[in-house]
Amino acid sequence: MRLRCPGARAPQHRTARPSTERITSSMAARFLFLFDFDETLINENSDNSVVRAAPFQKLPEALSKNHQPRFFLEHSQQIMKFLSESGVAEDAIRAAIQQIPASPGGAVLLNFLLAREDFECVIVSDANSYFIETWLRHAGAHKLFTKVFTNPAEFNTNGRLVLRPFHSHSCPKCPENMCKQAILREYVSKRAKERGEPFRKVFYIGDGENDICPTLALGQNDTVFPRRGFPMHKIIQDLHKTQPGMYKPSVVPWDRGEDVVDFLKKVLQEK
Answer yes or no: are the C-beta atoms of 32 and 191 closer than 8 Å: yes
Is 126 annotated in some ligand binding site? yes
Question: Is pLDDT larger for residue 9 or for residue 90?
Answer: 90
Task: Give the pLDDT confidence of 163-180 residue by residue, as tens digits.
Answer: 998 877 778 888 888 999
Specify the 3-state DSSP secondary structure of 21.
Answer: coil
Positions of E strands within the chain:
31-35, 119-128, 145-151, 153-155, 161-163, 201-206, 223-226, 250-251
User: CA gyration radius for the chain?
Assistant: 18
Confidence label for 78 from pLDDT (cuts 50, 70 and 90): confident
Per-residue confidence (pLDDT) for residue 75, from 0 to 100: 80
pLDDT digits (tens, 9 = 90+) for 197-251: 999 999 999 999 999 999 999 999 999 999 999 999 999 999 999 999 999 999 9
Catalytic residues: 36, 38
Mean pLDDT of the chain: 87
pLDDT over 90 for what percent of the chain? 67
Residue 101 is inside which H or E element, if any? none
Residue 174: what pLDDT? 84
Is 38 one of the annotated binding-site residues? yes
Residue closest to 41 by CA, chosen among 52, 50, 33:
33
- Count CA atoms within 13 Å of residue 35 on its CB side: 29
55-80 average pLDDT score: 72
- For the chain, list the domains and their CATH numbers: 31-269 (3.40.50.1000)
Residue 145 bridge partners (DSSP): 121
Classify 121 as helix, strand or coil: strand
For residue 11, what pLDDT is reported?
35
Indicate the range of 28-32, 50-54, 60-64 predicted with least confidence: 60-64
**How far, in Å, CA of 37 to CA of 123, rounded?**
7
DSSP 6-32: TT------S-B-S----SS--TT--EE
Mean of pLDDT values over 100-125: 97
47 marked as binding residue: yes
